[in-house]
Amino acid sequence: MTVYAHVTKGDTVMALTDIAIRNAKAREKQYKMSDAKGMYVLVNKAGIYFRLDYRFRGRRKTLALGVYPDVKLQEAREKRDEARKLIAGGVDPSQVRKANRSIQVQQAEDGFEAVAREWFAKHSPSWAESHSKKIIRRFELNVFPWLGRRPVSDITPPELLDVLRRIEGRGALDTAHRAQQNCGQVFRYAIATGKAVRDPSADLRGALAPAKHGRMASITEPKKIGQLLRAIDGYEGGPVTLCALRLAPLVFVRPGELRHAEWAEIDIEQAEWRIPADKMKMRDPHIVPLSKQAVALLNEIRPLTGQGRYVFPSIRTESRPMSDNTILAALRRMGYAKEEMSGHGFRAMASTILHEQDWPSDMIERQLAHAERNSMKAAYNYAQHLPERRRMMQAWADYLDTLRGERQ
């Protein structure tokens, strides 16, 4: 039951004051404090609410005007007057509010951030975790703060360019180009799902300064490769790091794949390392044939780490793999600057020399686990050229031994 608390003078309702509302206390039963023109304050144990009672087409209705103190008395009265104008014009303010809420919901669903996250949710399960994190972080840091709430269909080329120029302005040219590419993917997804009709990123070709694509630092001259291998053999760090350094040129996988290697993935008898799809950049399983030299190295370290999960565990805990900076730091300790050699450099080293030795390009690319454009083809290609790749990997290991022994 609602108790009405009217303050009247004759037939005229006295207007409320801020002090009266501020001092209103909840009672056992809720009650009303009338203002004027149909507006009142409803007081109950949950709070203080501004309301407007009105009639529309013969029906009694109530419109919520806000909650005190978030909405003050004067603001509530302004909302009341706006509603009364609509009523006088034959428009139901409750229906107007529902329509506005529907528009807001639709705008939120069609906002760039909402569409981008929907696109991301559709595609990211097929990506490596590190790749997924880079893409969503790029959006969160560089795009969403400025375009996130904008309806994806309303974004214009100049508007997108302003966002990209902001990235370009701080010198992150590669990030700017990648952001443009990712935005284009979102816009094309929006077109496919009926949320947009065109891709504004397509109009921005040539608008950004060219990105400087530098190759990962690598040593590819045979004489210098031999010097590097001898430097690795003389490394005075921990045995786990030494073994990882010595194995890296023999298998030339990505640094993250090397440090996450698990004993369960390695078959010493078959001389194979089978990396599961969820560890690979493009989410395809990968087979690494192990040369005799690689098997010898693994047998050498097995007594040290073979009881745990990881071949190269962290120095702090065996439950985690070695740090992603371990190999890089070791190269720096040996005197190799970042411009000379990187953890990825072993891949470029193998690719360059193997191509120079006329091994088939598709065999080399398969062993490097480079992306296969045809996803159906990629699913079946992880074992492609395996016998030939075994011969190539053994020949490569033997060649490295030759370079290691050459002192010129």
Q: Is-contact 55 49, C-beta < 8 A? A: no
- 6 part of the active site: no
Q: What is the 3-state secondary structure (H, E, C) of 197-210?
A: CCCHHHHHCCCCCC
- Answer whether the bond into residue 69 is a cis peptide, omega within 30°: yes
Instruction: Reply yes or no on whether 254 is catalytic.
Output: yes
The yes-or-no answer on residue 344 being catalytic is yes
Residue 280, token pair as written in the block? 């690979």
- Set 177, 254, 259, 366: catalytic member: 254
Active-site hit among 347, 366, 382, 389? 347
Of 391, 328, 362, 347, the residue nearest 252 (C-alpha) = 347
Catalytic residue at 380? Answer: yes
Q: Pick the catalytic residue: 281, 302, 309, 385?
A: 281
Q: d(Cα 111, Cα 337) in Å, to the nearest integer?
A: 46
Nearest to 187 by CA among 159, 145, 167: 159
The catalytic residue among 302, 370, 390, 404 is 370
Rg over alpha carbons for the chain, rounded to the nearest Å, is 34
Give me the residue label for tokens 């400025």.
146
In the set 223, 333, 380, 391, the catalytic residue is 380
Contacts of residue 349, defined as CB under 8 A and 6 or more positions apart, other chains included, come to: 218, 219, 220, 225, 249, 252
User: Of the listed 260, 344, 366, 389, which one is catalytic?
Assistant: 344
User: What is the C-alpha to C-alpha distance for residues 11 and 159, in angstroms, rounded to an integer?
Assistant: 58
Active site residue 347: yes
Question: What positions carry a catalytic annotation?
Answer: 254, 281, 344, 347, 370, 380
